Amino acid sequence: SAFSLFPSGLSSCYEDNNPVLGRPQLFGPSEALVKKALDFYCELSVYPKNETILLQLFREGDRSKLLGVSTSLDGARGVFPILFKTFHDGNLECVASAQNNTSVEPSVSSVHRLRVIEVRVSSEKTEFFEGSTLELRCDLGEGTYATYKWFLDGKQISETRYRYFNESFLQVFRTSSKDSGSYMCMAQNSYNKTIFHSNSSVVNITVKDVVSTPSISFNVLKEDWNYSALLSCHSQRGTPPVTFTLYNRDELIGNTTEEDRSTTFTVPIELGKHMGWLQCRADNGDQTAYSHWMPLLVEPVQGPVTLHYDYDTGQNYAVVGVRFYCNASKGSHVKFEWFLNKTLLPDVPGSFYRVVDEAPARSILLFTVGRSSAGTYHCEASDEFDNTTAISSRRKYLDKEVLNRLPDVVVAVVFGCFSLMIIMVCVCCGISIVYSKISCFTSEMKKMTAAYEEDLASYLLSEVGSTQLHLLKYMYLSNFLK
């Protein structure tokens, strides 16, 4: 027999009647991430010449599951490309055997420890209502990581007032539907000076909006001579499906579950009769929302239908805009229509007018004053569900000249006020003249009296003595004091 021995690291072979296989060497990464692809290698240092060697990769003690296979001729290195999964974790070994020669004893390599690292996102619940707290955990199958990153629908998220990171935990407080989506975490660490990134599987989280308070309303339907109310229940928000229930006081009228946030119920009615109080309730699994109580009463339209107007003025106090108001005496479902020169004006805005519908209370027609708007106006009120009940208002003609002409009453009031003012001025002047004449006469009388008294005193002083004069003065003063 011939035997060749080479220094360590080189191959050798046998060419005799009893060939043998040396112990293969298995090498590759000792740590790998799930869903990553890497290669393992198996190499023989002692092998038979011109013999094809089968190389197989197994977990230690488990030959039922083949992890990789390769062939080698004349000492060529065998390669095992592997897309790592969790079952690759453990002790691996390479088994070498002669592919076409059963007389050659197989040989097994030393075990190679492989850690397969998997990152998983776990949550106790994946569906809940807004306002709850979402808690996610980034679970690691193996390995120790330094940092974690979280992603929602493929976009990295950061901490906010209601979003908190704590190592491998993510907490979202006061959740809303905006927090729904696909969550994933990324773990990162270093191995053999190489940075490894591992993405977890995706967890779909659904945050439901709580159903809002439903609105309730109804329209009236007429079929032959029978009437019914088509009731509508609608919630502005809330994650479907939503269950709607209709009550007449304590009596259940009906219920239905919808993929939309609205539904309708049909209830027979009698015109002019109070049919009860209705309430709509909505529930999508968290809590029940209640509408207001609505009376079910349909009053037919009744007259008279009144028409009045006011206007706006511009420069020089000229009328530039007019507002007509149309009101019906009674009616819960009133439809108003406007006419100009007996021609129906559509509800859509026209070249010179616009209709503001405030049914059932009233309807308003606004228009600018001009040549197109001149004519005779009137309105009609009818039941929405029955056009045969139309009641017409009185007719009113308006144009630019009529609107800007002063009414007779205004002219009379202005003329009367002017006349009264003239009369008052004349009376005041007359009183002033009379008062001035009286004042002059009084002044003259005072002057004449003073002169007379002075002359009398001089005369007495010359005719009588001083004694008599003192006596006269005494008598005069006595009379004056009396």
Closest to 365 (Cα-Cα) out of 424, 411, 322:
322
**Residue ranges per structural domain of the chain:** 12-117, 119-208, 215-295, 302-404, 419-471
- Residue 447 is predicted with a pLDDT of 65
pLDDT at residue 196 is higher than 80? no
For 145-187, how does the pLDDT look when each residue is reduced to its tens digit (9 = 90+)?
557 889 999 999 999 999 998 878 899 999 998 999 999 988 8
Place of tokens 């009183």: 431
- Supply the pLDDT for residue 412: 64
More confident residue, 107 or 479: 107
Domain 12-117 matches domain 119-208 at the CATH topology level: yes
- Residue 94: phi and psi, rounded to 5, are -105, 130
3-state helix, strand, coil in the chain (%, to 5): 20, 50, 35
Local confidence band at 317 (pLDDT 50, 70, 90 cut-offs) = confident
Architecture of domain 302-404: Sandwich (2.60)
pLDDT of residue 195: 58
Counting every residue written for the chain, the total comes to 482
Tell me the fold of 119-208. Immunoglobulin-like (2.60.40)
Q: What is the pLDDT of residue 144?
A: 52
- pTM here is 0.58
Among 403, 343, 337, residue whose Cα is nearest residue 369: 403
Nearest to 334 by CA among 308, 306, 311: 306
pLDDT at 225 over 50: yes
Is pLDDT of 258 > 60?
A: yes
Whether the pLDDT of residue 252 is over 80: the answer is yes
Q: Let me know: does 184 contact 136? Beta carbons within 8 Å.
A: no
Domain 12-117 fold is Immunoglobulin-like (2.60.40)
In this prediction, residue 376 carries a pLDDT of 95
Q: Which superfamily is assigned to 215-295 in CATH? A: Immunoglobulins (2.60.40.10)
Rounded to an integer, what is the distance from CA 238 to the centroid of its chain?
Answer: 12
Q: Residue 385 pLDDT > 50, yes or no?
A: yes
Tens digit of each residue's pLDDT (9 = 90 or more) over 23-68:
999 999 888 877 788 999 999 988 888 888 999 999 998 999 999 9
Checking if the pLDDT of 467 tops 70, the result is no
* Token digits of residue 231: 């009731």
Residue 443, burial from CB neighbour count under 10 angstroms (0-12, 13-18, 19+): exposed
pLDDT at 211 over 70: yes
Q: Is a pLDDT exceeding 60 seen at residue 8?
A: no
- 473: which 2 tokens? 């003065």
407 has a pLDDT exceeding 70:
no
Neighbouring-strand partners of residue 221: 228
Closest CA relative to residue 26, chosen from 78, 61, 63, 69: 78
State residue 7's pLDDT score.
38
Residue 304 pLDDT level (bands cut at 50, 70, 90): very high
> 408-463 and 466-481 helices cross at what angle (nearest 10)?
150
Q: Between β-strands 31-33 and 68-73, what pairing exists: parallel, antiparallel or unpaired?
A: unpaired
